[in-house]
A and B are shown apart, each in its own frame.
Chain A
């Protein structure tokens, strides 16, 4: 389960690097196959990509049932990444059925009449394929990485479960128990997990980002198979899905296979998401949690923009200046200079809908979270008054550039970037546009977004304090012997 994705900026940076390196990601441009009947076909605009010095051939085609297919043919290594993206996440849930989107991440492996419950792993994983899935607030992804000999089986199984997933009481109850264990692991017994869940719930009161992707146990407990069937019929259909394929295949042949496998599945264009807007926060919100931890922890969040708002680029730079690396302002002040925290971090999380600019600090020894809060506020105020330096912007761009090159080193990484941009913007070609916007970020932009978003009244603060559970006295045992 992945809760945090970077998209627009990172996608743009991919191209920045490729431009400077002259790297050819894939084969030369090809024109769309206009002879293909039925589905719409389009390719990336050669002029845009050539201006950037890139030979990335991203083919976008659409079936008549609404299924979007994005393909990047690349014969560098005999590996294919096949990703099925569904535009459904916890944002599509309502109070009472929280966690249902994530539950499907589990149930989608429980079989169909054609391929039984264990078949996904027997057919694919047992042949060396990597098979997995993750759910975010905005979308759910099922992905396989495999050698080309498994292509037909992957397509058959993915299209089959999109059309014929078996949803029964037995599988539901077992998998719900597994999800409860997952929740105990990642949230209930994890100090960091508890804090994150509390922080989102504090920051959002009406928007569905308020609840955790994994859902609340009481909602999972009262969910029924009928709820599941309704959810599946609504969201798991071609008109709400994008297939992203990157790697060692022939584009036209691959598309023919896709068309044959998915063409018969009924689909419809999904209506626009009806998501309740979050009202503007006008007061600081605070919460204190207790746990048996060594030191206090601070976690705070300011309301920020969504990905569609161009402010997200400057917010990314701001986050890097404050928190990326040991040379960052945050690390230098709290960890190095004042030595009040053992670590400090932060990120601009700007998803489909307005997100959060988050900061965390783990306190050192007896230092309390309010000390870190005061220092972080001072750092923010300084940027609000003076902006950041050109050097800091340059460093931030460079850091993100390397991160992106790393993420596109593999077919899976490139596929993930393409899918994310498609889900958020409904346009995989936002790559080039994003690049230009990112490179234009100035000190004034960073100063402006700091003043616009990082306001005390827009802030939610969760402090985790060491609890007072009684400890067991240490035995006076001899330590060791050689």
Chain B
């Protein structure tokens, strides 16, 4: 199902060529007219209305295509899970459409799928979204189903039990391949000690404690009009549709929730602070053992600055030159020059109060040590100021030139806008990206990298066949290694 708000807007992940020194490999193409121009972006901003009960409506209207996207965005996510009961929001996402407004799960599915429409209901770190996508003439019906699912779930006991078992079943598949193992372990280690430390499901043991009553309580506390935004994107008669919204959502009551965030550390991944193992673990390479694989998944990264920091722009340029596009330095060296991987990419993943910088790749197990060593060499060079004017220029051109393409559909504009809304980036966020990037200078990039690339607290995680990985890592000089089984992630 399409999830309108699930695209990782800030998670720049694309592929990227040779020598670790910037001056050795990067050269700008001969200039073309307009290379240095920064286009003035005037993207359509939504009309915002607020109902008396506090529900905000964002209108992105466009008649060009006969389609509609509707989404109710709740500004609470799995970070809001009750203490000791992680997975509450995750489970709620599954349960909502398993019976609502007196309709069974199948009746809901049949009604929506019969229109050719798609639906989603899921939690993210900071938000929860219930949405529909379909043909424009069906917008009123789709809205009605959003109101049923989001406002009037029936929490049928048998369905709650069933969805809970299904979620456990899905978790049991995380070891089928190495990719999810590396990603989960990396997330938990980087997010340790923050209010995001639990992630979607911290452990199956915690998840087992989640009861139907917890879902009802979460829903009552967080699904309130003052904590919600309804997005209407596409072709619709706004006057008539507004009336429909008032009918379906006007009586919805409730205040914005009071937050109770606490930091959490998964001690299976990160030893308790102050323990004998804690100091050693800070510089270790964590290996998730999945025997039998011939390729290992590699993740490296660290916590970074807030999404609301002005330094986000020079760091965005830094990320582009390092690992966002095909010709970025990591890919240029490790894939294109050395042939060690199919791709290596980097990006920032933003949450409201946590930013993670990550590098991701996969390589033949025997080359794991080489890939990590080369990546570290590049990271250290960049942190030490080895960034050329040409690299900065190319990265800025790439970001500014690609921006119009990334917002060429109304849905893309609306999704970006919603992220800015959620992260409180201000009304001009959408249209200032190009000019802000265009204004970034090389000294700013060098300074922000030197200051914010926290290589002293680098997290390195590898998933795959531990014995072969250890052999490769040791051959490259890495000795502080710790192995965990897949079960440590469940």
A contact residues vs B (CB 8 Å cutoff) = 17, 20-21, 23, 76-79, 117-119, 121-123, 125-131, 145-147, 149-150, 153, 173-178, 180-182, 184-185, 188-191, 291-295, 324-328, 332, 336, 339, 342, 362, 364-365, 391, 394-395, 397-403, 405-406, 409-410, 467, 469-475, 477-482
Contacts and interface: CB of A to CB of B under 8 A. Distances in A.
Nearest to A21: B66
A481 B272 CA distance: 8
B62 to A, nearest CB: 10
Contacts of B27: 122
Contacts of A123: 29
Contacts of B117: 402
Nearest to B15: A132
B341 A480 contact: no
Given A177-B340, A188-B294, A400-B116, A146 B405 contact: yes
Given A20-B66, A189-B177, A77 B364 contact: no
Contacts of B134: 402
Interface string B320-362: 0000011100001001111111100000000000000000001
Contacts of B175: 292, 294
B460 interface: no
B487 interface: yes
A146 B405 CA distance: 7
Given A125-B327, A177-B340, A474-B488, A189 B293 contact: yes
A169 to B, nearest CB: 13
A147 B404 CA distance: 8
The main secondary structure of chain B at its interface with chain A is mixed
A185 B170 CA distance: 21
A471 B326 CA distance: 38
B129 interface: no
B341 A479 contact: no
B28 A122 contact: yes
Given A128-B398, A327-B110, A178 B341 contact: yes
A118 B17 contact: yes
Contact of A409 (B394, B403, B409, B483): B409
A129 B339 contact: no
Given A122-B28, A184-B364, A470-B291, A481 B408 contact: no
Contact of B114 (A191, A395, A406): A395
Contact of B289 (A21, A175, A328, A472): A472
Q: Which 8 residue pairs are nearest across A and B when measured between Cβ atoms? A: A128-B401, A177-B339, A398-B116, A128-B402, A21-B66, A474-B487, A121-B327, A325-B113
Contacts of B341: 178, 181
B327 A191 contact: no
Contacts of B203: 479-480
Contacts of B47: none
A128 B409 contact: no
A20 B103 CA distance: 31
B327 A126 contact: yes
Contacts of B116: 395, 397-403
Given A121-B325, A293-B176, A475 B488 contact: yes
A461 to B, nearest CB: 20
Interface in B104-126: 105-106, 109-110, 113-118
Interface string B127-171: 000000111100000000000000000000000001000100110
Nearest to B295: A184
A79 B118 contact: no
Contact of B295 (A185, A325, A328, A362): A185
Nearest to B173: A294
Interface stretch (B49-57, B219-227, B260-268, B310-318): B260-268
B399 interface: yes
B295 A127 contact: no
Nearest to B403: A128
Contacts of A292: 175-176, 290-292
Contacts of A182: 342
B64 interface: yes
B265 A480 contact: yes
Nearest to B277: A477
B83 interface: yes
Given A188-B294, A482-B262, A125 B405 contact: no
Given A121-B17, A188-B294, 8 more contacts: A118-B332, A122-B29, A128-B398, A128-B401, A181-B295, A402-B118, A405-B66, A480-B268
A203 to B, nearest CB: 24
A179 B118 CA distance: 36
16 contacts: A20-B66, A21-B66, A122-B28, A145-B405, A149-B34, A176-B339, A189-B293, A191-B177, A365-B169, A398-B115, A402-B116, A402-B134, A471-B487, A479-B206, A480-B264, A481-B264
B33 interface: yes
A398 B67 CA distance: 13
A234 B302 CA distance: 50
Contacts of B265: 480-481
Nearest to B171: A294
Given A130-B405, A401-B135, A473 B66 contact: no
Contacts of B201: none
Interface string B196-221: 01100011011000000000000000
Interface in B47-94: 64-67, 83
A76 B488 contact: no
A185 B290 contact: no
B336 to A, nearest CB: 7
A473 B25 CA distance: 47
Contacts of B408: 77, 79, 410
B292 A188 contact: no
Nearest to A364: B169
A121 B364 contact: no
Contacts of B67: 402, 405-406, 409
Contacts of B337: 174
Contact of B109 (A293, A327, A477): A327
A345 to B, nearest CB: 13
B397 A128 contact: yes
B19 interface: no
Contact of A17 (B66, B178, B409): B66
A127 B32 contact: yes
Contacts of A117: 17, 336
Contacts of A122: 27-29, 327, 394
A395 B290 CA distance: 43
Contacts of B113: 324-328, 395, 399
B295 A477 contact: no
B339 A174 contact: yes
Contacts of A23: 64-66
B160 to A, nearest CB: 15
